[in-house]
């Protein structure tokens, strides 16, 4: 059964979810009540693992807050977009004679920030936005609206392990540039014009330490005011257009 809550479409019950997945519906995430067991639940978990859909085991109260109907211990949020595979996109970009420009988002959870980031990314010519399958904002109606349609145009990739994806990008010839306040190096003092993956961190605590260590360069944007940091969507927009500026400057 299709429902809507908080501008997010969802379905519940084992049979509707199985049928939706068999018919190619993409899921943002699947919530299963802790301790719920049945052959149908096991089938859904297996399909979700194969399709790389996030699955969370939660208290029954969480599902009851979303719907009061008979959810059978399972509920799935339906994605309004189709995800792409970063492993397929990078070779395609090179084959087309273009220089890859990727945006990596580490735990961006606010849907409006996420939508705004994707809007700036699409305008700056980013080839793909990569998000981890857990700990990221849902792609829902609020995100779509804030992106001003960009989420329907830009490639969005969801990955299980961002660290593995960073390694893949480095092996593919991309420089990993982390936007971080933990550096003295300004973005425009670095060559960001080649194949690049821009890494942005969460609203609360920035980029995870494990990902910072994998970055080839750490950059920041100097500020002359009294505030200590920028909103992540603003910082992402500035960073994307600095890369675009450097690319134009080479022509």
For residues 53 and 161, state if they share a domain.
Answer: no
- The CATH code of the domain that includes 71 is 3.30.1330.30
Is 96 in the same domain as 198?
yes
Q: Is there a single domain that holds both residue 205 and residue 180? A: yes
Residues 107 and 213 in one domain: yes
Q: What is the pLDDT of residues 73-106, one digit of tens each?
A: 999 998 888 899 999 999 999 999 999 999 999 9
For tokens 């009851």, the residue is 64
In the prediction, which pLDDT does 4 show?
44
CATH of the domain at 119: 3.40.1280.10
* Higher pLDDT, residue 4 or 29: 29
Exposed (0-12), middle (13-18) or buried (19+): which is 217, by Cβ within 10 Å? middle
| Domain termination residue (choose one: 34, 57, 78) | 78
| pTM for this prediction | 0.84
What is the C-alpha to C-alpha distance for residues 223 and 231, in angstroms, rounded to an integer? 13
Contact, 117 vs 129, CB < 8 A? yes
pLDDT at 6: 43
Q: How many CB atoms lie within 10 A of CB 150?
A: 22
Helices (H), the chain: 14-22, 39-51, 60-66, 86-95, 111-123, 141-146, 162-171, 209-214, 232-249
31, two tokens? 């919530």
pLDDT, position 33: 94
Give the per-residue pLDDT at 5.
Answer: 45
Q: Do 102 and 216 belong together in one domain?
A: yes
The whole-number pLDDT of residue 135 equals 82
**Residues 198-251: tens digit of each pLDDT:** 999 987 888 899 999 999 998 887 776 767 777 889 989 999 999 999 888 754
Q: Are residues 100 and 132 in the same domain?
A: yes
Total domain count, the chain = 2
pLDDT tens profile 159-191: 989 999 999 999 999 999 999 877 666 767 778
* Greatest Cα pair distance in the chain: 61
Between CA 190 and CA 168 the distance in angstroms is 22
H/E element, 75: strand 74-78
Let me know how long the chain is: 251
Q: Which domain holds residue 16?
A: 2-78
State whether 21 and 96 are in the same domain.
no
Final residue before a domain boundary, out of 58, 78, 98:
78
46 close to 38: Cβ distance less than 8 angstroms: no
Residues 237 and 219 occupy one common structural domain: yes
Q: Same structural domain for residues 223 and 107? A: yes
- Whether residue 93 sits in one domain with residue 204: yes
Contact 25, 78 (CB under 8 A): yes
Question: How much is the pLDDT for 250?
Answer: 57
d(CA 54, CA 135): 10
In a shared domain, residues 70 and 92: no
Residue where one domain finishes, among candidates 24, 53, 78? 78
Helix 111-123 / helix 232-249 crossing angle, nearest 10 deg: 10
More confident residue, 108 or 189: 108
Q: Among 140, 100, 145, 141, which Cα is nearest to 119's?
A: 145
* Model confidence pLDDT, tens digit, residues 119-159: 999 999 999 999 998 888 888 888 888 898 898 899 999 99
Strand order in the sheet with 175-179: 155-159, 128-132, 101-105, 196-200, 175-179, 217-219
Measured distance CA(111)–CA(142) in Å, rounded: 7
Residue labelled with tokens 């605590």: 205
Question: Does residue 61 sit in the same domain as residue 98?
Answer: no
């Amino acid at each position: 059964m299709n429902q809507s809550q908080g501008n997010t479409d969802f379905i519940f019950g084992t049979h509707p979810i199985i049928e939706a997945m068999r018919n190619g519906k993409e899921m943002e995430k699947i919530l299963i009540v802790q301790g719920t067991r049945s052959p149908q639940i096991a089938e859904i978990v297996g399909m979700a693992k194969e399709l790389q859909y996030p699955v969370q085991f939660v208290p029954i109260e969480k599902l009851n807050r979303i719907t009061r109907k008979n959810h059978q211990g399972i509920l799935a949020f339906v994605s309004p977009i189709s995800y792409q595979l970063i492993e397929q996109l990078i070779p395609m970009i090179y084959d087309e004679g273009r220089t890859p420009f990727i945006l990596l988002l580490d735990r961006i959870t606010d849907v409006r920030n996420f939508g705004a980031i994707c809007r700036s990314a699409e305008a700056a010519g980013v080839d793909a936005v990569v998000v981890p399958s857990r700990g990221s904002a849902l792609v829902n109606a609020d995100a779509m609206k804030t992106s001003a349609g960009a989420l329907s145009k830009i490639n969005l990739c969801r990955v299980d392990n961002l660290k593995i994806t960073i390694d893949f990008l480095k092996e593919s010839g991309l420089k990993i540039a982390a936007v971080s306040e933990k550096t003295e190096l300004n973005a425009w003092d670095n060559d960001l014009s080649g194949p690049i993956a821009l890494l942005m961190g969460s609203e609360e605590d920035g980029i995870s330490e494990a990902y910072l260590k994998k970055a080839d360069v750490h950059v920041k944007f100097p500020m002359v005011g009294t505030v200590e940091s920028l909103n992540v969507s603003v910082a992402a927009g500035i960073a994307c257009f600095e890369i675009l500026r450097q690319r134009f400057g080479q022509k």
